[in-house]
Amino acid sequence: MGSIIEKVISVIAKATLWRFSPTIIGVTGSVGKTSTKLAIAAVLSPDHRIRYAKGNLNSRLGLAMTIIGDWSREECRLVSHDTPAGQKKTQKLYFWIKVAVLGVWQILTLRSSQYPEVLILEYGADKPGDIRRLTKLACPNIGVVTAIGDVPAHVEKYENPEDVAREKSRLIDVLPPSGFAILNADDANVLGMARRSRAQVLTYGFSAEAALRVVGFETRIDVGGAGNSSFKLEYGGGMVPIKLPQAFGRAHAYAAAAAAAVGVGFNMNLIRISEAISLYQPAPGRMRVLRGIKNATILDDAYNASPVSVRNGLEVLAAMPAKRRVAVLGDMREIGKFTLSAHEGIGKIAAEVADEIVCVGESSKIIAEAARKAKMKPAHIHHFDDIDSALDFIGNMVLEGDVVLVKGSHSVGLEKAVVELTRLESTGPVV
């Protein structure tokens, strides 16, 4: 049944693209896809009708679903990795009927002016061949590659990190000569994709070689969590100031610079890009700063984790004014043979940055042990097998004036810790 549904919905999605011919922006990479997607949406939305992929809709069905329509949080979960195990099959079936009916109806009746001009889609690559399958459904006009890193997410499904980069590069291979390849100049694996591109290449990053260069990056954070990141963006001999309210860390600067490169591809000038990017807001679980219990400040970066993103999170924690710095760190999963070395590396950094470390999950034991070897006192290192057993401890150990980083792979469930620390009913909508 699943394969039949996928074929039907995919056919309708392809017919939708044929009928309305939107510009497709494809975003891939091992980290930063969601933030980049939202930054692109912020840049383009003032002047264009856009639609972007909600939640984790980066599979073939997820792309098809985004092409056909906008959906609620609950509907997005039906095809995302967050689908509840007990979800009723009849509920899913009725939903897919709804998607199919809407798709056919709009192909037959909708005017082109009523459909989005621009689709911003995420292209996931959990395993070899995924990008090829996705580009056959929706071939992008503009391709954005965020970062691969030394130990990419999902690397356990590949022979080595180079194979992950090769898979991601398939997105660049299919771009038309009239398109744009937007590449991270600070990641060697990504920058190397320029050689494969038939499209015009625009690079972004902090390095002097980047076409769109971030300079003078600063993060200002007040006690209580208010603040912003700011920098100047250079391109083509011009320079504009960029300010990102309530967005902390270099990851958001990369997202903004990538979005600015897309804006350049749409013939926007730097001043217009600077004005538009100020609308950007971080997604739940992607380095949001929240007010917590006991006047603590919570760095909600709980959505997912890879070595590069955890290092970035600890860098932000180190920059925060705090009475104590607390790192709640979960497993970094799906990294295969790199599990030991990657967790050891994070443990060493955490020992230098944090006053207290709470480790959650089986692999996070390696973080705890590495922190001990780095001479952190055992009394300040805590380990729990799962998030449910850690929640009471996390809630009770936080003190007034603490800054708490929450970071781990999505399957560890650390969003529960954010709820515990903020007393929110949930960590926010799927975006």
302 found inside a domain = yes
Are residue 89 and residue 173 in the same domain, yes or no? yes
CA 299-301-306 angle, 5° bins: 140
Neighbour-count burial of 202, counting CB atoms closer than 10 A to its CB (0-12 exposed, 13-18 middle, 19+ buried): buried
Are residue 248 and residue 295 in the same domain, yes or no? no
225 found inside a domain = yes
Are residue 40 and residue 99 in the same domain, yes or no? yes
Residue 43: give the domain boundaries: 2-277
Evaluate if residue 82 carries a pLDDT over 80.
no
The region that residue 376 occupies, defined by phi over 0 for left and psi between -120 and 50 for alpha, beta otherwise, is beta
Evaluate if residue 429 carries a pLDDT over 60.
no
Are residue 263 and residue 365 in the same domain, yes or no? no
Whether residue 248 contacts residue 221, with contact meaning beta carbons closer than 8 Å, is answered with yes
CA 183 to chain centre: 16
Are residue 295 and residue 255 in the same domain, yes or no? no
Percent of the chain past pLDDT 70, that is, above it, reads 94
pLDDT band at 54 (very low <50, low <70, confident <90, very high): confident
Are residue 20 and residue 160 in the same domain, yes or no? yes
pLDDT tens for 55-67 read 778 889 999 999 9
The separation between the first and the last C-alpha atoms of the chain, rounded to the nearest angstrom, is 28
Are residue 333 and residue 226 in the same domain, yes or no? no
Predicted local distance difference test score (pLDDT) of residue 83: 54
pLDDT band at 355 (very low <50, low <70, confident <90, very high): very high
Predicted local distance difference test score (pLDDT) of residue 270: 97
Task: Output the domain CATH number for residue 307.
Answer: 3.90.190.20
Are residue 109 and residue 257 in the same domain, yes or no? yes
Angle between helices 60-68 and 89-109 (to 10 degrees): 50
The helix or strand, by DSSP H or E, that contains position 301, with its residue range, turns out to be strand 297-301
Are residue 76 and residue 143 in the same domain, yes or no? yes
> Into how many domains does the chain fold?
2
- Identify the domain boundary among 257, 277, 297: 277
Evaluate if residue 426 carries a pLDDT over 50.
no
283 found inside a domain = no
pLDDT tens for 117-161 read 999 999 998 889 999 999 999 999 999 999 998 887 778 888 888
Taking residues 334-357, report their average pLDDT: 96
Evaluate if residue 197 carries a pLDDT over 70.
yes
Predicted local distance difference test score (pLDDT) of residue 430: 38
390 found inside a domain = yes
Taking residues 91-112, report their average pLDDT: 93
CA-CA distance, 74 to 286, in Å (whole number)?
Answer: 20
Are residue 259 and residue 297 in the same domain, yes or no? no
430 found inside a domain = no
Higher pLDDT, 221 or 367: 367
Predicted local distance difference test score (pLDDT) of residue 431: 41
Predicted local distance difference test score (pLDDT) of residue 428: 47
pLDDT band at 69 (very low <50, low <70, confident <90, very high): very high
- Identify the domain boundary among 256, 277, 298: 277
Task: Output the domain CATH number for residue 84.
Answer: 3.40.1190.10
- What is the overall mean pLDDT for the chain? 91
Predicted local distance difference test score (pLDDT) of residue 424: 57
Are residue 108 and residue 160 in the same domain, yes or no? yes
428 found inside a domain = no
Predicted local distance difference test score (pLDDT) of residue 76: 79
Are residue 147 and residue 211 in the same domain, yes or no? yes
Evaluate if residue 179 carries a pLDDT over 80.
yes
Predicted local distance difference test score (pLDDT) of residue 276: 97
34 found inside a domain = yes
Taking residues 316-329, report their average pLDDT: 93
Torsion angle of C-alpha atoms 417, 423, 425, 426, degrees rounded to 10:
-40
CA-CA distance, 427 to 406, in Å (whole number)?
Answer: 12
- Identify the domain boundary among 277, 302, 333: 277
Percent of the chain past pLDDT 90, that is, above it, reads 75
282 found inside a domain = no
pLDDT band at 224 (very low <50, low <70, confident <90, very high): low
Taking residues 381-403, report their average pLDDT: 95
